[in-house]
Amino acid sequence: MKLYEKLAEDIESLIRKGVYRPGDRVPSVRQASQQHRLSITTVIRAYLLLESRGVLESRPQSGFFVSLRMAEGNRPAGELRPTQPIAVSASVDVSRLVLSTLRSIGADDAVPLGSPYPDPTLFPFEKLNRYASAVGRNKALWGITNALPPGCPDLVRQIARRYLENGMAVDPNEIIVTVGATEAINLCLQAIAKPGDVIAVESPTFYAMLHAIERSGMKAIEVATHPEHGIEIDALAKIIESQPIAACMVMPNFQNPLGFQMPDARKRELVELLGNAQIPVIENGVYNELYFGASHPTTLKSYDKKGIVLHCGSFSKSLTAAYRIGWALPGRYRDEVEKLKFLNTLTTSVIPQLAIAEFLERDGYEHHLRRVRKNYAQQANMMKAMVERFFPAGTRMSNPAGGYVLWVELPPKVDSMKLYQMALERGITIGPGYMFSISDSYRNFIRLNYSSPWSSAIEQAIITVGKLVAHCAR
């Protein structure tokens, strides 16, 4: 942990314990620098970090104060409570609800607060299409053999280079290109478990994980998940002792819907626990490039010494969703995943593979990503500020460290499905909490998408949803 992060944590702890109350002025930057024997720059970074979390607020010519929303009844971002472990499901069936919700997102002129997809306006679609057009004119690539597993060598090489740029050396021979991350997850799950097996997942969890389990005829068990630290490792260890867990599926970076980034120490601890138990883990890393911090996050894969981590990635969230290009790094299960890829879909389309490979090599992927990250970070702050202002007391929010979704806990009386219907009647979509669990544990939760460029329509939609929440909370 960096010095400014440690200072921020210590100050927040004092606030939680009541040493500083809502509205209290905290020590000035100079005072804090002297008290903690830290540089003024370090103190300023700590205070700005706490301000971004909604813990502190700055007042011109006066200094920093504990945010008034720290008062009980409307806790700040990041104060969602971790859930408790949930019993094994008899079956998993959230697909009908998800499909219905996704269809509603395409309704005429609906404001897509409930969309699971990133807004495409920041993506370089025209450049990609020009590369795709050039590839399509090359008759030498028209044959199917160019796209057979593991995938086009040019793209495989570029994916390996990208990992290296982000601090992790991977063997290009381990990479298998897939039709998006969804296929990668499904293939990996088929490679490590069989129908009837029990799979441990986060709670709440991204519904694509539940779909994969449902499709494979397996059972899910939800594990308590902290809104900032990720899956509760002690809770998972107890479940492993009492249940025949075949595999684990997690999203350690910018998890959908919570948005957290699991600390490195906990990633290492999770891999060690599962490695010792010989339980493989599927790591969904589709949001890894969309971080708000100063550096790329680590992966479970980077701590894996036994080949138990099956890492899945995709360009759909960071470059283009239209081309549906993903990949898997399946560790010791690599050969089985390649065989399943061949048996399931034979190939992944060669033209999108080569178009993306050309873009990665020639067009500044990192420059593109910096622009996307900056926009998402700004829009996350605006979305949180709007929810804080226009939703009723008792509302709590996640504190996304990356990605483009916000998880919102509403007052207990609110039913998110009823709210979903009411919002839809007004041309607004939201993601009801029911989609993210095999139980009704999140009946009063919703997920909001902040990837769309900020506009008056977005603002008005949030205000409208806030009013509907207040009405349902009575």
Q: Which two tokens stand for residue 332?
A: 């010791």
124-365 in CATH: which number? 3.40.640.10
Identify the pLDDT of residue 143. 63
Class of domain 95-120+367-472 (CATH, top level)? alpha beta
Q: Which two tokens stand for residue 16?
A: 């939680």
Spell out the residues 6+ positions from residue 198 whose beta carbon is closer than 8 angstroms to its own: 88, 218, 219, 220, 221, 243, 244, 245, 246
Low-confidence winner among 46-60, 265-279, 313-327 (lowest mean pLDDT): 46-60
Chain segment 220-268, per-residue pLDDT in tens: 999 999 999 999 999 999 999 999 999 999 999 999 999 999 999 999 9
For 180-324, strand residue ranges (E) read 198-203, 219-226, 230-231, 245-250, 281-284, 309-314
Chain segment 418-434, per-residue pLDDT in tens: 999 899 899 999 999 99
Q: Rounded to an integer, what is the distance from CA 62 to the centroid of its chain?
A: 37
Collapsed DSSP state (helix, strand, coil) of residue 253: strand
Q: What is the pTM of this model?
A: 0.80
Q: Single out the residue of 432, 421, 429 nearest to residue 452, CA to CA.
A: 429
Q: Which has more pLDDT, 107 or 324?
A: 324
Identify the pLDDT of residue 368. 96
Q: Where in the chain is the domain with CATH 3.40.640.10?
A: 124-365
Q: 264-287: string of b/e by CB count within 10 Å (b at 16+)?
A: eebbbbbbebbbeeebbbbbbbbb
Identify the pLDDT of residue 222. 95
Residue 338 near residue 156 (C-beta atoms within 8 A): no
Q: Which has more pLDDT, 14 or 11?
A: 11
Quick one: fold of 3-70? Answer: Arc Repressor Mutant, subunit A (1.10.10)
Identify the pLDDT of residue 404. 97
User: Is the pLDDT score of 286 beyond 90?
Assistant: yes
User: Is the pLDDT score of 144 beyond 80?
Assistant: no
Chain segment 91-138, per-residue pLDDT in tens: 445 666 666 666 665 555 789 999 889 999 999 999 999 999 998 888
Q: Where in the chain is the domain with CATH 1.10.10.10?
A: 3-70
Single-letter amino acid, residue 40: I
CA gap 240, 224 in Å, rounded: 13
Q: Which two tokens stand for residue 3?
A: 């010095």
Low-confidence winner among 70-84, 157-171, 173-187, 287-301 (lowest mean pLDDT): 70-84
